[in-house]
Structure 1
């Protein structure tokens, strides 16, 4: 069994930190709904990647001659930087989802609802998905390129970046630039949000209400709106955009660390064989701060599941006993929903 090196100490710290982060991410994903909570499943994925990478590197203590363990750890390290940027794109999408149907006013306070929608639509969820696909392509290139670089080390004893690694990091840098631009646009529009006329929950993963005749009694809709009113939505949207903006400096440092190895071929910035000081200060700590920010903000958001559960409980409590009778109850519910239309 080999002795503990500084890199192994870092791996132990990562296992401890990301074990708690992984459990918290699972909790948040369950709270906000796994299927519609864009962002949280990516946080789960990133924390899992870091856990597996650290575990593989610690496994080299038992088998220090197993090159496959080093290859796996290096590949997972290269994949993580793109995954954590994808988390921020998804969070920006959540923010846009909250603000899509909001009224936006300028400094003169005269912008109409249509103008507000048009201005915030500059960063649509569809365009953000394009950025996600771009980053996904960079992620795939990074994984394949990292595998080939590690295999080249096995054959020659030198660890150099391949063309695919260069392309993958270049695509990731492009996606990061688009993310910064999109976040700047949203941040400039967000402070002017007025009381909403309803909002899109496509990416927010939260229960929404829209204008028009409610499907439940008026008092239930009012209670739901009071629990989760426009002010709450605007506050949550602002927290999300603040988290995205604050994470940018840390992500930039992390990207610079990758660029120094991929583009400058400086082995001091290798995640496996490089200087451990650079690795800790420019990679490990930066990623931990970003994940910590994301999960702290996530704990402040209104759980989608709690909203749906409260609404179902209110509907059940306020419904009449005869509405639970087959056929008769269905007729009453259909009349309440569509009666005024005829």
Structure 2
């Protein structure tokens, strides 16, 4: 009879937290809007990937097939994308309140780059699952991780540029920068784990056959903590009036940098 392993226990932990985060993500989207520009839709994607990935891992208890492990591998690999894009979304909202805005095209380009990396991760993960060694990452998976890392490095640069204009950012919106800063150590460790796992050849860093404690501390817990910061921040943020969203949408569509003419909304008593 198959037994529940330490690694399966980590999957159960992920399942518990990310099912809860999925519910929070739906609440955030209902509060801030389901528009892609609201940024919180990506949290739904991330939570679903982690729930599905954990489910694949638990399925290996009774069905330890190559395809099931392949599904878990793909979900683990491409799940870094929404994590980085989620943090990028925090900055995209702050960007609407500074006088020297980043061109909205940059955020669009980074999102497209993330989709390219996701495609590479899916294709590479599928090939790995069909190979003789389903736990050894190939060039596509490695390229995907490199793209995710590059996106986050650029996001850190954007954060520093926005931080330099912090005196012009409304107080309530500053918590987005605080959130990004709070998430940074955990996201960096998570990316470091992925890079070490894919490039070092050290079997201890394999997400499925390696050291489970390392995976728990450098991957699973890092994601859980980072998303917790984002969820708490999102739930405490005020919903912006429709004119803010419309102004941003026009900026994205036209590729222009607009100055938001509307004052920051004052909370009604």
| TM-score of the aligned structures, taking structure 2 as reference length | 0.85
CA distance in structure 1 between the aligned counterparts of 2:208 and 2:3, rounded to whole angstroms: 16
Segment of structure 1 superposing worse, 156-165 or 53-62:
156-165
CA displacement, residues 280-309 of structure 1 (integer Å, 9 cap, x when unaligned): 0000000001100000000111135xx67x
CA distance in structure 2 between the aligned counterparts of 1:135 and 1:36, rounded to whole angstroms: 15
Instruction: Work out which of the residue numbers 120, 125, 141 in structure 1 matches 2:104.
Output: 125
* 1:185-264 equivalences in 2 (<5 Å): 185-190=161-166, 192-193=167-168, 234-264=170-200
Show the counterpart of 1:293: 229
Q: Do structure 1's residue 11 and structure 2's residue 11 form an aligned pair?
A: yes
Show the counterpart of 2:61: 61
CA displacement, residues 175-229 of structure 1 (integer Å, 9 cap, x when unaligned): 1111110111001112x21xxxxxxxxxxxxxxxxxxxxxxxxxxxxxxxxxxxx
Instruction: Kindly state the Cα deviation for residue 19 of structure 1 after the two structures are TM-superposed.
Output: 0.9
* Preserved CA contact (<8 Å) 1:89 1:132: no
Root-mean-square deviation over aligned CA pairs? 1.6
Show the counterpart of 2:206: 270
Unaligned runs of 5+ in 1: 101-116, 194-232, 309-342
CA distance in structure 2 between the aligned counterparts of 1:176 and 1:145, rounded to whole angstroms: 21
Q: Do structure 1's residue 80 and structure 2's residue 79 form an aligned pair?
A: yes
CA displacement, residues 207-258 of structure 1 (integer Å, 9 cap, x when unaligned): xxxxxxxxxxxxxxxxxxxxxxxxxx71232011111122111111001101
CA distance in structure 2 between the aligned counterparts of 1:282 and 1:26, rounded to whole angstroms: 27
Q: Please give the secondary structure, in 2, of the residue aligned with 1:61.
A: coil
CA displacement, residues 46-98 of structure 1 (integer Å, 9 cap, x when unaligned): 0010001101111122223x22111101110001112200111111101112x
Unaligned runs of 5+ in 2: 243-269
Residues 158 and 88 of structure 1, relative CA distance in 2, 3 Å threshold: closer
CA distance in structure 2 between the aligned counterparts of 1:31 and 1:130, rounded to whole angstroms: 27
Q: Do structure 1's residue 166 and structure 2's residue 166 form an aligned pair?
A: no
Show the counterpart of 2:88: 89
Task: Point out the structure with max Rg over C-alpha.
Answer: 1
Equivalenced residues, count: 242
Q: Please give the secondary structure, in 1, of the residue aligned with 2:164.
A: helix
Q: Please give the secondary structure, in 1, of the residue aligned with 2:38.
A: coil
Q: Please give the secondary structure, in 1, of the residue aligned with 2:227.
A: helix
Instruction: Kindly state the Cα deviation for residue 158 of structure 1 after the two structures are TM-superposed.
Output: 5.8
* Preserved CA contact (<8 Å) 1:29 1:37: no
